[in-house]
Structure 1
Amino acid sequence: MDLATLWFFIVAFFFVGYFVLDGFDFGVGMSLPFLGRDDVSRRQVINTIGPVWDLNETWVIVAGAILFASFPEWYATLFSGFYLPLLLILLALILRGVSFEYRHQRDDIAWKRRFDRMIVIGSTVPALLWGVAFGNIVQGVALNADHVYVGGFFALLNPYALLVGVTTLLLFFLHGVLFVALKTDGQVHEDAHRLAKLAAGPTVLAAAGTVVWTAVIAMNREAPLLWLVLGAGALAAVALVAAVGFSLVRRDGWAFVSGMVTVMLAVVMLFAALFPYVMPSTIDPAYSLTIANASSTRYTLEIMSWTALIATPLVLAYQAWTYWVFRKRVTRRSIEGAPAHA
């Protein structure tokens, strides 16, 4: 395996980590209107991700930096062609972060409800648009001979990309609800189980459609990793059904782990369907960006490889330690006994 191919899989690894970790953050935010019956329950829901949401979000910063350094041509084409959706994602993430930090600054119900709505918007928009973006990347977009996207914004809103967007929205929503069920007690815990049951059917249907359509795209393209596309898609479906089943029998830990595996395998499936391209062209296959023609120089990739070898285990260890420290449930009693601004 050459270094460019290795870094394609490293980029995939960091996006897998981002969607698995920030995915349930998005789901928790989207579930707020359904699980927050009063201010105490809303604080209980928000506090499930309070200590970790910003750490989870750093994965996309690292993924973007790695993409810029290892595949500058891919980065340039992606961020110029997908400028508006990526800008909307960025604004939504800022909106969500500001809301987490400012919600508790004033003991006023109207103030808090405004920021609660911002949390919902700031979670829903990225959950949908990340899927739309990756759907377009996998399916291919209108790239000309200079690797410039010429399709326009509304061309990105095609049926396959929208299906992938709806699938990521529903997967993250279910993923977040399962996390709330794992991390809370009392009425919020019970409501999370009921909500997971309601979300299960639409999520399974959307995910099945995405798996089948992605497999068709990979087969038509004669993707060299077709076996991985089919395998990851099938296992993702099994993991999703398992997550729903574990939730129904109140095995919250296993339900959440199964949800994590579902998201992980779904992202693996998308990257496997994309390989060896990084942005296929629908105008002419010769205009496509591939791993070979979009990567940095060998020297750059060698330096990055040594850096990643040292830094990645440290990042993973710190992430694991953080989750271990904040592993306990967020109980209603602990919220009621805390200051109102907490």
Structure 2
Amino acid sequence: MRVTFLGTSGAVPTTQRNTSALLVNRDGDRLLFDCGEGTQRQMMRFSTGFAVDHLFVTHCHGDHVLGIPGLVQTFDFNDREAPLAIHAPHGTRGQIEDLVHAAGNDPSFPVRINQVGPDEVVLDRSEYEVRAVRTDHRTDAVGYVIVEDDRKGRFDREKAEEELGLPPGPEYSKLHRGESVEHQGRTIEPEEVVGPPRPGRRMVYTGDTRPTDAIAAAAEDADLLVHDATFASDWADRARATAHSTAREAAAIADRAGAKRLALTHISTRYAGDPSPIEREAREHFDGDAWIPDDGDRFEVPFPDDGGERPDSDDA
């Protein structure tokens, strides 16, 4: 699961940060979350490709959706035929339709708009699903959670070979699939060589929000929480007035949830020259790994049992 941060600024872009957008490549499935103005250029700049079939919109403020007209028209220019699904909060269909058809554009490919609410399963795949989660902003808004299915248990090859005398071969695959096999007159059951199921990965993207109980619950044991951290605590009153979060509040949610890593986004232009107060504040209140990603940074989300440290941006 590779996360590419396409836009990490607040409501206004800066010379270093674009408005909100994040792309997740989950084993070839490219999922785009929010689409601020200029997202299509960010996708080209950071080589994510345009093979996006699902766009998940957290809310319809401009810095999260004004990239939709350009992206849809770019798809058209590239002779796209595959359908595009746009998922957005209940009550926003008309706004999304206006964006899709901006400047009289009539896409040559199918565009399906799916309105979603908190706790709904938005996308159901064979190995993972995307759910909506309740957020607290100034308009109809949701966040999104990617939850992978449990994985198969570890296969104990040493026991299979040395204790059971079973040589490598197709029987290993059968046992790993949960099927018993016959060997030298005895039946070997899967549980003899296959450990218990292992959890998949969990990632949460909040969009713009105040800290909420729902986000804390959705981010329980999350491998990555991407949370609004528009301000440091010196602007806590402004955060409350505009329904955003401070870095300290984001850190408190991550800590309460037991999340392993916290990526701080939607950084106010007040910190354009030096965002370190936000990062420093989060690290003071969260024991896990907290950082502010730059536009273009990539992060491979590790499996829960694989550990893994956040790579430096140069190595991403």
Query: In which range does the TM-score fall when normalised by the shorter chain?
Result: under 0.3
Greater C-alpha radius of gyration: 2
1 or 2, which has the higher strand percentage? Answer: 2
Query: What's the TM-score, normalizing by structure 1?
Result: 0.25
- Greater helix share, 1 or 2? 1
> Normalised by the size of structure 2, how large is the TM-score?
0.26
